[in-house]
């Protein structure tokens, strides 16, 4: 490795993935390029997707949050009274958005947060599709 690459571990279990400190990855990955951003969209997005999927959150709910961040900003979205239908999931996401808001510059940072939420939504959808196909 050249020192700028992030080692990827494709064999992480859900238990290992869900242990990711998503708030920290957001704080360090939003304003950075390179390995920190890669970790945010890799381990951070996977960990968030596993956690939200376990709480029964639908991909479209997370994608909607991404669109809301893009329209109103990270701070605005974090202060919405009900982020997701499930209160436990809302509390979890609110913590992530609060961490992101602490470093997200308007427009640029908000766009990164929106894209990250959309990536999390896609991963939740992939998890659900894979489970459905395996159950057939």
Is 15 inside a domain boundary? no
DSSP string, 8-47: --TT--HHHHHTS-HHHHHHHHSS--THHHHHIIIIIHHH
Residues 6+ apart with CB under 8 A from 122: 59
Could you give the number of structural domains in the chain? 1
Is 11 inside a domain boundary? no
Is 57 inside a domain boundary? yes
Is 128 inside a domain boundary? yes
- pLDDT over 60 at 6, yes or no: no
CA distance 57 to 84: 8
CA distance 127 to 122: 9
Q: What's the pLDDT at 16?
A: 92
Q: pTM of the predicted model, to two decimals?
A: 0.89
The mean pLDDT of the chain is: 91
Of 91, 102, 81, 31, nearest to 57 (Cα)? 91
Burial class (CB in 10 A: 0-12, 13-18, 19+), 125: middle
Cα Rg for the chain, rounded, in angstroms? 15
- pLDDT over 50 at 5, yes or no: no
Per residue in 50-73, pLDDT (tens digit) is 999 999 999 999 999 999 999 999
Per residue in 66-95, pLDDT (tens digit) is 999 999 999 999 999 999 999 999 999 999
Is 124 inside a domain boundary? yes
Is 7 inside a domain boundary? no
- State in Å, rounded, how far the first CA of the chain is from the last one: 41
Q: Whole domain around residue 31: which residue ranges? A: 25-135
Is 14 inside a domain boundary? no
Is 6 inside a domain boundary? no
> DSSP label at 105?
P
CA distance 121 to 107: 21
């Amino acid at each position: 490795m050249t020192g700028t690459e992030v080692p990827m571990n494709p064999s992480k279990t859900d238990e290992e993935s869900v242990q990711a400190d998503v708030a920290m990855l957001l704080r360090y990955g939003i304003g950075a390029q390179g390995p920190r951003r890669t970790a945010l969209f890799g381990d951070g997005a996977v960990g968030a997707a596993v956690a939200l999927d376990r709480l029964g959150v639908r991909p479209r709910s997370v994608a909607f949050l991404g669109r809301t961040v893009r329209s109103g900003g990270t701070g605005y979205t974090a202060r919405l009274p009900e982020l997701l239908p499930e209160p436990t999931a809302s509390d979890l996401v609110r913590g992530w958005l609060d961490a992101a808001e602490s470093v997200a510059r308007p427009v640029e940072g908000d766009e990164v947060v929106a894209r990250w939420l959309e990536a999390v939504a896609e991963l939740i959808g992939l998890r659900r599709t894979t489970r459905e196909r395996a159950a057939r």
